[in-house]
């Protein structure tokens, strides 16, 4: 068998930055690391790529094994390969970000797995270069959200405008003027207002909306008007 015998060999891992939104905060799903070094410290959800796997297949497997999550939005965004990033052995990590509606999986994650949600701006220190991965993933999420409807993966099928505004503010880490946001989102024609209202916050209530996916795909550039700066 022909081998590249003169070349060094490395391990390849995947790490998944799982974002969730509970209606008020953007959150990050973390687990306790189960092996040395840094055992029991907070970590992203990850694992090594198997000999017969692609990185995508490994990421799907790792997420299913550690959280039970499958069929969710998952996107590869960067490779991390600093020589000393893992103190045990040279390891390249292929990083992915995933988006889920927290409320859809809340019971499952709390009862069956040891994963835990943390507010994105109040998370514990993570192992290795995982803090850098989270920062980079959030930047990538902001960029993607300006061009594509991926933030709606974080929302239930029906949502209110206040919930949508909070989500945009959390992702961009910036306050948005409510009047301007409402005016701009309504002017895009991307949302369909439902007759039902959410009355949990006030007697008057707030109308529920749903995304018109067809209009969004044909007019996706309009969403740029909603992004601060």
Q: What is the pLDDT of residues 18-55, one digit of tens each?
A: 999 998 999 999 999 988 899 999 999 999 999 999 99
The reply to whether 182 and 136 lie within a common domain is no
- Whether 152 is in a domain gets the answer no
Binning pLDDT at 50, 70 and 90, where does residue 6 land? confident
How high is the pLDDT of residue 194?
Answer: 94
Residues 6+ apart with CB under 8 A from 35: none
Structural domain span for residue 198: 157-226
More confident residue, 1 or 169: 169
Q: Are residues 97 and 70 in the same domain?
A: yes
Q: Per-residue confidence at 1, pLDDT binned at 50, 70, 90?
A: low
Query: Which of 53, 43, 62 has its CA nearest to residue 133?
Result: 43
User: Is 206 inside any structural domain?
Assistant: yes
CA atoms of 110 and 117, how far apart (whole Å):
9
Residue that is last in its domain, among 85, 114, 145:
145
CA dist 24 and 158 (Å) reads 15
Q: Is residue 80 part of a domain?
A: yes
Q: Who has greater pLDDT, 106 or 62?
A: 62
| Domain shared by 69 and 137, yes or no | yes
Of all residues in the chain, the percent with pLDDT exceeding 70 is 91
């Amino acid at each position: 068998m022909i081998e590249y015998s003169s070349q060094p060999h490395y391990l390849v891992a995947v790490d998944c930055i799982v974002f969730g939104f509970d209606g008020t905060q953007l959150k990050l799903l973390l687990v306790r690391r189960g092996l040395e070094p840094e055992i029991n410290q907070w970590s992203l959800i990850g694992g090594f790529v198997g000999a017969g796997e692609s990185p995508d297949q490994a990421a799907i497997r790792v997420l299913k094994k550690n959280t039970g999550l499958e069929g969710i939005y998952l996107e590869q965004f960067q490779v991390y390969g600093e020589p000393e990033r893992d103190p045990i052995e040279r390891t390249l990590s292929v990083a992915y970000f995933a988006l889920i509606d927290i409320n859809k999986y809340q019971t499952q994650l709390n009862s069956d797995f040891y994963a835990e949600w943390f507010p994105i701006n109040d998370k514990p220190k993570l192992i290795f270069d995982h803090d850098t991965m989270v920062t980079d993933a959030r930047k990538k999420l902001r960029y993607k959200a300006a061009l594509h409807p991926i933030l709606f993966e974080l929302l239930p099928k029906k949502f209110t405008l206040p919930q949508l505004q909070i989500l945009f503010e959390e992702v961009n880490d910036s306050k948005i003027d409510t009047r301007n946001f409402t005016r701009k989102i309504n002017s895009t024609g991307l949302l369909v207002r439902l007759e039902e209202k959410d009355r949990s916050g006030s007697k008057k209530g707030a109308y529920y909306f749903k995304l018109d996916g067809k209009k969004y795909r044909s007019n996706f550039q309009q969403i740029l008007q909603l992004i601060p700066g």
